[in-house]
Each structure stands twice: as C-alpha cells, then as structure tokens.
Structure 1
Amino acid sequence: LEVPCFYFPKSDWENGEAILSVLREHDIDFVVLAGFLARVPDLILHAYPNKMINIHPSLLPKFGGKGMYGDRVHEAVIAAGEEESGITIHYTNEHYDEGTIICQVKCPVLPEDTPDDLAHRIHALEYDTYPKVIEKLLESEG
C-alpha cells in the first residue's frame, strides 16, 4: 500500500527523542495506539496533548493499569463476577490507562463466558467503535 513505516528498537522508547524526531519530520499531528503495551515517553506525550489516543478492553478505571492487557483483563473481569465489560477509548497521559476518557461502550458478561468468549465480544466492539471515534476526532480538528 506504499504506507511509510518505521521500526524503533526498544532502546528508542527510553527517552523518545528519535521517535519524536521522525513524527515531526513527517508532520504527524495525531497518534492512534492499539495493542500498544510500552509506556510512551513523556517527551512524546507532551508533544501530543489530546492528540494521542489509546483503546483498552475494559470499562476503565476498572481492570486497567500496568500489566492489564488482553486475556489478563478478561480473566480478571470474569473472576470478579462483573455483569458487564466493554471498551474504553481515552487520551494517553503519563499513567497507564488513566487519561481522559473519550468514550466507553458496554457489553454483557454472561455467566457461562470464558475469557475467549468475552474477548470475542470485546473485539467486535473495538473493531466497530475505534475507527468511528478516530474519524470523529479527526473531523472535529479540521
């Protein structure tokens, strides 16, 4: 598709200078994270206030924070006996999963659900909702 892409080794994420340089070089003005488990350096966060978003597979603030991702989240939701879960789309900040919430979409947690069952339902919400929210945010900037 001729989309430029860049690989950054883990060491570049320590202070973020090389990454921020590439973002600026290509006039990137909005950053969308998905399945991104590394902490974004403050240097980059501060360059993109309310211009960097992330998605999380639970209804934050529940089941968020460092180490809470993927199946770990779904296992914790089921173990806690929650009756609903969902997704949270939020701005990123210096703390894992604590940025201002943009939107949340809920789904039921059924008594017979396994983590895989819940993950399937959550993925459907993510695939449907995230592109729509991104488009709306970009339109509001224009």
Structure 2
Amino acid sequence: MKRLAIFASGSGSNAEQICLYFLHRDDVEVSLIFTNNPQAGVIKRACKLQIPVVFFDKKTFYETGKIQQILQNEGIDLVVLAGFMMLVPPFLVDAFPKRMINIHPALLPKYGGKGMYGHHVHEAVVKAGEKESGISIHYVNHHYDEGDIIFQASCDIDPSDTPDDVANKIHKLEHENYPRVIDQILSGQP
C-alpha cells in the first residue's frame, strides 16, 4: 500500500479532495495530515475523515528532525503540500527526492515565489490583465515554486473577472486535477 502525508496550513479543501479521492482505495492511504496552524480548517476536515493530524511549530519544523522521523517511521511514500505556507527545510526536501510535491495557483514560472500564494496570486493575475491563469503541480526543491513542473492546467480569464472569480476557477482546476496527478505519480506515470 502507498502511503501519503499531506501538509496544509489553511482551509484544507485540496487536502479533503485528495482524501476523498483515495478514501475507498485499498492500494493508497492518506496516513497523516500535518499542519503548523492550530486554527486551520484542514483540522476539522481531517477529523471528519478520521485521519490523524500532526501539529508542529516553526522551531520543530526547521530545527529538529522530528517531522522527518515521523514521515519515515510511517513509511510515507509521497509528501503532498496542499496550501502549505512554509518553505520546506532543505534536509526534509533531500530526504524525499522526487517524492514531495506542491500545487501552485498559477502557471509557473509566472506568479511564483515568496509571498505569492492564494489570493495574492489571483490579485496579481487580474491586475496584470492576464488572459489565462491555471495551476502548476511541481516537485518541491529548496526554493519556493521552482521545482520541476509535473503538470499544468489552464483556464481563461475574462476581462470582467475579479480575483474571487479567478480563485473559483483555480479551485475547480485544483480539485479536478491534483488527486488524479497524485495517483499517476504513485503509479509511476509522470
């Protein structure tokens, strides 16, 4: 059985979609959800789905090997970032080469990097008058949003679209594609 760990800092809608996608599979399991935010919506979603949640703080994440040890002890095959706001420390990235992925709400390399997440991205896309946006699923490396791209999907942006309109289009792409791409990675396809 392939085992996933999801890291999330926010509402957890992508994490929930991933969990639901694999819920009735006997070959893949979402084993743990990690969060650095004790107020994160992902906690309620994980509890509803009976998936254990691991809480950690900044010091634990960056200055100890505790998270890496938990991941390795649980036999995690793939680490999935789904709305996780912290830069993963190099030692943790290096422990999971090509086994740690992230989703970004834009067509990288545009609108990536530190501070470019969530609504900040959608506001920048609208302000720039872009005709399209989308999602990028990529491997995690030592820098924000610079890992090798695995998959991208795009959507049209209308001149009348607000950042909220763009966000809705992007969420739809994320929910449709992230679980499927994870499944492909686990089966060795990408």
* TM-score normalised by the chain length of structure 1: 0.95
- 1:126-141 aligned at under 5 Å gives the runs 126-140=174-188
SS in 2 for 1:62: coil
Q: Return the letter of the residue paired with 2:99.
A: K
The equivalent of 2:92 in structure 1 is 44
Distance, in Å, in 2 between the alignment partners of 1:79 and 1:128 is 26
What's 1:23 paired with? 71
RMSD over aligned CA atoms reads 1.2
Q: How many residues align?
A: 141
Q: Which runs of 4+ in 1 moved over 3 A?
A: none
> Normalization by structure 2: what TM-score?
0.72
Q: Unpaired runs of 5+ in structure 2? A: 1-48
Q: Do structure 1's residue 83 and structure 2's residue 118 form an aligned pair? A: no
Amino acid at match of 1:40: V
More strand by share: 2
Kept in 2, the 8 Å contact 1:16–1:44? The answer is no
Offset, 1:139? 1.1
Tell me: CA distance 1:107–1:16, structure 2 relative to 1, closer, same or farther (3 Å): farther
For structure 1, the 5+ residue unaligned runs are: none
Q: CA deviation at 1:32?
A: 0.5
- The equivalent residue for 2:61 is 13
Instruction: Return the letter of the residue paired with 2:59.
Output: S
**Matching residue of 2:152:** 104
Q: What is the letter of the counterpart of residue 17 of structure 1? A: G
Deviation at 1:99, TM superposition (A): 0.2
For residues 127 and 182 of structure 2, what CA distance do their matches in structure 1 show?
A: 32
